Amino acid sequence: MLKYLFITLCSFLMLTGCNSEKSKKNVEKSTKKDLKVIAYVHRLEDNWGKDFEKVHQITHINYAFANIKDGKVVEGNPSDSITFKKLNNLKNANEQLKILISVGGWGWSGGFSDAVLTSASRELFANSAVDFMLRHKIDGIDLDWEYPGLIGNGNVHRPEDKENFTEILKLLRKKLDSLATENNKYLLTIATGAFQQYLDHTDMQEAHKYLDFINIMTYDFYGGGDRITGHHANLALTARDTLKPPRSARFAVQQHIDAGIPANKIVLGVPFYGKWWKGTMPVNNGLYQPTSGKTGTYYFKNIADSLAGNTGFQSFWDDEAKAPYIWRQKDSLFMTYETPRSLKLKTAYVKDNDLGGIMFWQFNGDNGSLLNAIYDNLNDNTTTNNN
């Protein structure tokens, strides 16, 4: 009898140990799965199939953009139906992939304020957004309103936008949940501005309750309108920053947390493009210097080609800001951009602080190395203490 009890006890302990180890692996797998990699796709280029060979490295695609006309969400381009078919076909290679439609953006946010002004207009807008999603057989809606209560790109805006923004999210959540099944839950997300004024004109403590996650546009801190150069997506604050108040990815995340958003709902945005200025003063290789010439943007893949070629580009690293930059002497060109090195630090920051993942604008800008850096480092169990 004692021998039998001993054998039974050993078997139980072995089984428990195996299950414990299996549970541990499942937790690790689940944690990695829960870290989102969200790709904004603005258009599909001719070689789009080759571009998406690494679709397994992406969890979500936000197609940009749908427009707003007469208070309704409508296709932004005549080819959108074909585009969504192509994007949905990517699920053959990644069955976990989710496709969302992003509504608005910088150029098409002018209709938001009117569309959400009354209960009747919100009903019209919400129904059209859901119909759009169902028509194209996709998985959710992403509102990219730039920005509630603020002028943005010369947009109509009102103080009431703050309350109405929350109300439209609440209504959309209700409609999406009414369509949900046990195996199919539709997503509702937003893109937010990485500055305090955005948070002052929204009620994120309430609004986040209706959202699956929130993508912070933690880039474009400096741009062509600035006559002093600076990093446009730096992770950390730097004492030399001329912006008032200064901006950084970490600072923007903390502002969102202080506004009442849970950390695990926050997705950190990164750029797959660089911003440049010509006619820049050469001190400190152009960083934080007055500039007077032309400005513009380059895709990262073009920047990488220029660095590899004999173009005069010199790459530097700002250890305080945790960000790279480029200087070209012949035309006094200063450029701020993202690299695998800077993304390694950002992915470590996401993991160290239990954020929801990383979003990037936009897919066509990469040559593969930036997405590799995000995927490899998010799925690496090690972290870096860069708080």
Catalytically active residues, by annotation: 146
| Tokens representing residue 180 in the block | 């949900």
Strand partners, 142: 102, 189
Neighbours of 362 (CB within 10 A): 18
List of residues 6+ apart from 291 with CB closer than 8 A: 227, 228, 229, 277, 278, 279, 280, 281, 332, 334
| Tokens representing residue 265 in the block | 């709902």
| Tokens representing residue 339 in the block | 């690299």
Contact in structure between 83 and 120 (CB atoms under 8 Å) = no
d(CA 219, CA 231): 9
Q: Which helix (H) or strand (E) holds 372?
A: helix 369-378
Contact in structure between 145 and 109 (CB atoms under 8 Å) = yes
CA separation, residue 198 to residues 147, 218, 259, 348 (Å)? 7, 13, 11, 26
Amino acid at 260: G
In the chain, the DSSP E strands lie at 36-41, 60-69, 72-74, 98-104, 140-144, 187-193, 213-217, 266-271, 273-277, 295-299, 314-318, 323-328, 333-336, 357-361
Closest C-alpha among 110, 61, 151 to residue 360: 61
Contact in structure between 290 and 280 (CB atoms under 8 Å) = yes
CA separation, residue 24 to residues 29, 99, 272, 295 (Å)? 9, 30, 35, 51
345: left (phi over 0), alpha (psi -120 to 50) or beta: alpha
